[in-house]
């Protein structure tokens, strides 16, 4: 009987020890999930370069809110310096904006942007404007390739720890759908993607899934659009951009129909998103004002020092919401 009692006691201690080990591993894994990140160690500033679609910035707000909610221990600054009408090819239509001004060329301002922002990670999304909405032409294609190569070289020289090119979003021609100007963007995207193998660049493909989504929805919903004007995506289009980018970064967003679904990991996720969007709206114009540009017709923007004060206040509000879950 004594021997049996000891055996039972040993088995009980063994089971308790196993439970404690598993509990420790679960806590350790949970902590690791909070602290891990797809961005390089010590990365702080995440820069987004692009045209009017990037300036609109909803996909950036989606990505930022996702990271805040899923990685509350990480603190990144997502900087949007997208400039409407801009190209990386340096091309412009003769009658652009009814002849009021040529398309801005990224070459004019990139040096100032990199000097002031000093980014650790850069996302660059060009192509939509670079074919200037005309049928495919080899000379325009070469100007795009030259511009992207120049951009990548400048980003490497800036010391950015990670550079990710985004293929251009889908274009939906009013008459031809994805069989119009989007065919030009198909070629631009294919070339960008080819740089992954030839030059080991990082390229996240948002163009192909957006095109596929648009075509699929159009089969059952005649007249379905991601962009009412064929160019500038609405909320769903921006979410598709954000979702594909997050998946490229290794995030499991599954079939989430919108960003708010992914923010349900936090009970105040929707409120966090509103604060992130408000902050992005303030900061993008402030960063543009601080770094300078030649395109007319833009919002004046706050002085950067004043905008940063508002950034800090909104950060406190966001952190307070995050703390509610921790408490």
Report helix, strand or coil for 1: coil
Residue 7 belongs to some domain of the structure: no
Strand partners, 125: 50, 166
pLDDT by residue (tens digit) across 33-92? 445 678 998 999 999 999 999 999 999 999 999 999 999 999 999 999 999 999 999 999
pTM of the complete model: 0.89
Task: Tell me the DSSP string of 231-245.
Answer: SS--HHHHHHHHHHH
Q: Which residues of 151-172 are buried (b: 16+ CB within 10 A; e: fewer)?
A: bbebbeebebebbbbbbbbbbb
pLDDT band at 326 (very low <50, low <70, confident <90, very high): low
* Structural domain boundaries enclosing 206: 41-264
Residue 52 belongs to some domain of the structure: yes
Residue 29 has pLDDT above 60, yes or no: no
pLDDT by residue (tens digit) across 128-176? 999 999 999 999 999 999 999 999 999 999 999 999 999 999 999 999 9
Residue from 161, 168, 222, 210 nearest 192 by CA: 168
Residue 17 belongs to some domain of the structure: no
CATH code at 138? Answer: 3.40.50.1110
Question: Is the separation of the CB atoms in 160 and 202 below 8 Å?
Answer: no
Residue 24 belongs to some domain of the structure: no
The rounded distance, in Å, linking the Cα atoms of 319 and 323 is 6
**In total, how many domains does the chain have?**
1
Residue 286 belongs to some domain of the structure: no
CA distances in angstroms from 21 to 26, 35, 158, listed in the order given: 9, 21, 46
Contacts of 158 (CB under 8 A, 6+ apart): 114, 118, 119, 122
Stretch 185-194: mean pLDDT? 98
pLDDT band at 324 (very low <50, low <70, confident <90, very high): confident
Give residue 38's pLDDT. Answer: 84
Residue 209 belongs to some domain of the structure: yes
pLDDT band at 13 (very low <50, low <70, confident <90, very high): low
Residue 142 belongs to some domain of the structure: yes
Place of tokens 């390089």: 40
pLDDT by residue (tens digit) across 251-297? 999 899 999 999 999 999 999 999 999 999 999 999 999 999 999 99
Report helix, strand or coil for 121: strand
Residue 117 belongs to some domain of the structure: yes
């Amino acid at each position: 009987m004594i021997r049996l009692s000891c055996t039972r006691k040993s088995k009980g201690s063994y089971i308790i020890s196993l439970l404690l080990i598993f509990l420790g591993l679960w806590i350790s894994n949970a902590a690791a999930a909070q602290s891990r990140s797809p961005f390089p160690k010590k990365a702080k500033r995440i820069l987004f370069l692009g045209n009017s679609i990037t300036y609109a910035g909803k996909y950036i707000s989606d990505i930022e809110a996702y990271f805040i909610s899923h990685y509350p221990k990480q603190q990144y600054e997502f900087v949007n310096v997208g400039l409407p009408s801009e190209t990386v090819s340096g091309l412009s239509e003769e009658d652009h904006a009814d002849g009021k001004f040529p398309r801005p060329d990224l070459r004019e301002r990139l040096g100032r942007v990199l000097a002031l922002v000093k980014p650790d990670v850069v996302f660059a999304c060009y192509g939509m404007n670079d074919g200037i909405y005309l049928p495919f032409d080899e000379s325009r294609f070469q100007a795009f390739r030259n511009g992207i190569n120049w951009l990548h070289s400048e980003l490497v020289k800036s010391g950015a720890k990670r550079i990710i090119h985004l293929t251009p979003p889908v274009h939906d021609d009013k008459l031809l759908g994805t069989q119009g100007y989007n065919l030009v963007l198909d070629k631009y995207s294919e070339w960008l993607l080819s740089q992954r193998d030839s030059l080991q660049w990082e390229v996240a493909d948002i163009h192909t899934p957006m095109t596929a989504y648009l075509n699929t929805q159009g089969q059952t919903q005649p007249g379905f659009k991601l962009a009412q004007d064929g160019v500038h995506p609405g909320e769903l289009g921006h979410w598709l951009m954000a979702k594909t980018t997050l998946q490229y970064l290794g995030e499991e967003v599954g079939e989430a129909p919108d960003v708010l679904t992914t923010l349900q990991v936090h009970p105040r996720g929707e409120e966090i998103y509103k604060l992130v969007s408000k902050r992005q709206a303030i900061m993008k114009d402030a960063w543009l004002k601080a770094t300078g540009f030649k395109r007319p017709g833009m919002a004046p923007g706050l002085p950067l020092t004043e905008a940063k004060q508002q950034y800090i206040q909104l950060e406190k509000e966001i952190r307070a919401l995050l703390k509610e879950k921790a408490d």
